[in-house]
Structure 1
Amino acid sequence: MRNLFRDLFQNKDGTTAVEFAIIAPVFILLLLGTIGLCLALFLIGSLHYAVEDGARCASVKTTICSDSATTIAYTQSHYLGPNISPTFTYASAGCGNSVTGSVTYSMNIGFKTFVFPISATACFP
């Protein structure tokens, strides 16, 4: 009987499966969080690129971006981010031609949805 208990406590079968069950949820959440963060950073970069290019177009390419509607359409065509429709506005400001873009990014992590308002403004003399 004493040998049976000693063999039972020294048995190492299944330790790998138990360790994996402890580590796997943390690793999967970390992986999904990293993908969500990368997608958000891609959205921010694309939004900044679009408003900068739109402001530049309004200042330099006056045949393409001749008024507010064409400048906004040009800016929307240069937004390459995720399939979220940002809102762009154009104004002639003291610093030159200003284009502003804003979007609301929702990140669903399963049990909670986080909402981030993201905006970008560019002014080109």
Structure 2
Amino acid sequence: MRNLVKSLRASEAGTTVVEFAIVAPVFVALLVGALTLCLGLFLIGSLHYAVEEAARCASVKTTVCADPATTIAYARNHYYGPDLSPSFAYAIAECGKSVSAAVSYSMNIGFKTFVIPMSATACFP
């Protein structure tokens, strides 16, 4: 019996499975977290692009963006991020024609959902 216990203790069969079981959840969590972060960065980048293009259109392309409604429609057409339908607003400010956008980004990590408000503003003289 002692020889059997010693041989089981010395055996390294199955160590790879145990090591994988320890490392795999951490790796998957890092992978999903990185993808979620990239999606959030893509969303904010697309939001900034849309408001910058719309502010420029309101100042330069006065035939295309003639009033607030067409400027907001132009901004919506230039938003290429996730389908979250951000709200756009147009105003004339001290700096020139200003377009702003806001959206709430929901990040679900399995056991909890985080809601992150994101906004972008651009002004073009």
Q: TM-score if structure 2 supplies the norm length?
A: 0.98
Q: Who is 1:121 aligned against?
A: 121
Identify unmatched segments of 5+ residues in structure 2.
Answer: none
Q: Who is 1:99 aligned against?
A: 99
User: Number of matched residues?
Assistant: 125
1:41-88 deviation per Cα after TM superposition (whole angstroms, max 9, x unaligned): 000000000000000000000000000000000000000001110000
RMSD over aligned Cα, in angstroms?
A: 0.7
Identify unmatched segments of 5+ residues in structure 1.
Answer: none
1:30-69 alignment runs, 5 A limit: 30-69=30-69
Q: Distance in 1 between matches of 2:87 and 2:67?
A: 17
Q: TM-score if structure 1 supplies the norm length?
A: 0.98
Q: Who is 1:109 aligned against?
A: 109
User: Kindly, what percent of the aligned residue pairs are identical?
Assistant: 69
Cα displacement (A) at 1:103: 0.2
Q: Distance in 2 between matches of 1:68 and 1:77?
A: 14
Q: Who is 1:21 aligned against?
A: 21
Q: Distance in 2 between matches of 1:63 and 1:36?
A: 39
